Amino acid sequence: MRYKILLLALLGGLFAFSPAAKKIEFQFKLRPGKVYKQETRLISNSAQTVQGSEMNSKNVVSSVTYMAMTEEGDTSSVYTVWYDEVSMEIEGMGMNQSFSSDTASLSAVDPMSAILAGLVDEKFDATINTKGKVTYVENLEEIIESAVGTAGGAQADMIKEQISSSFGDGGFAKNIEMSTRIVPEKPIKIGDTWKVQQFTSTGLPLILTNTFTLKEVSNGIATIDVKGDLKIDPANARTTIQGMNATYFMDGTRDGQIKVEVETGWMESGTLTDNITGSISIEANPQIPEGMTIPMEMINETTISSAD
């Protein structure tokens, strides 16, 4: 009997120190003096039904971002950040357009590409806490103002808001937090789950509630499964479309997997798929006296990769 008790105690002790039981503490804090590179590619396919006709479109946004810690702190650190490449593609609804910050590769430089070119290699600062939340961005909007000024023309003014929402202070925070704000509040072990709320940068005012599950840790890299619920942000559900008041009614899900460096919280790679359905309701107005409801479906596929 004593032998069995001793054996069980020994097995229990071994299990307590097994890799599956060992707890891991994550934080977002990059190594000082190292430059981190991240490539992000978002492919968005949407379908809208307008007066019985289905209208399909495809948008592709790609970017390469560099980040390096310049001021280390206990709970937050300052990082110098810069865009290296930015490109956009729009297909559908009678359009097939491409824009790129690499204007040397273009036969003619359009205003959008000129603005994108003005964004790259311009450094700005971002304060990010150890939970991966962006708390302050400095100089980015000034960079956008300067880039828009170099393009000139009335068309540049029209697209400034779009550039700012995608790559300005708010857009940058949403984009980068997709790969930094994944840190659990307490140490976790394999099999544990935790939740983090984010705001998406899909062009729709969506709130994303992610449920992360730690699947395994190998060679200092954590594999994490992602399940998410998407809901329209009620504070920003109302909008205007070509001068008409409208309201979004959308929800959806996210599925994917990411790989994260345990020591720094840096996302090495990730694949995420969002399935979003709902409608846009346009209020009655002189153009559409009876109003209109436009059903909408969207699939977003995001790929994230990093390299030294």
Question: Tell me, what DSSP letter sits at residue 236?
Answer: G
Which amino acid would we find at residue 236? Answer: N
- pLDDT tens sequence for the chain (308 residues): 555 555 455 545 544 444 556 788 999 999 999 999 999 999 999 999 887 788 899 999 999 999 999 999 999 999 999 999 999 999 987 778 999 999 998 888 888 888 889 889 999 999 999 999 999 988 888 888 887 775 555 555 666 666 666 666 666 777 788 889 999 989 999 999 999 998 876 668 889 999 999 999 999 999 999 999 999 999 889 988 888 999 999 999 999 999 999 999 999 999 999 999 999 999 999 989 999 999 999 999 999 998 65
Question: Taking the model in full, what pTM does it have?
Answer: 0.86
Query: How far, CA to CA in Å, does 302 sit from each of 42, 71, 124, 181, 245?
Result: 4, 30, 24, 16, 30
Residues 6+ apart with CB under 8 A from 9: none
Residue 170: how many other CB atoms lie within 10 Å: 17
What's the CA gap between 188 and 66, in Å, rounded?
A: 29
Q: What is the pLDDT of residue 14?
A: 47
Cα atoms in the 13 Å half-sphere on the side-chain side of 43: 6
Q: What is the pLDDT of residue 22?
A: 77
What's the CA gap between 206 and 181, in Å, rounded?
A: 16
Asked if residues 226 and 256 have their Cβ atoms less than 8 Å apart, the reply is yes
What's the CA gap between 28 and 36, in Å, rounded?
A: 13
Q: For the chain, report the end-to-end CA distance as a whole number of angstroms.
A: 57
Tokens 């300005």 identify what position? Answer: 168
Q: Which of 226, 197, 188 is nearest to 304 (CA)?
A: 226
Angle, nearest 10°, between helix axes 169-180 and 154-167?
30
What's the CA gap between 155 and 111, in Å, rounded?
A: 7
Q: Which of 264, 201, 205 is nearest to 239 (CA)?
A: 205
Q: What is the pLDDT of residue 178?
A: 86
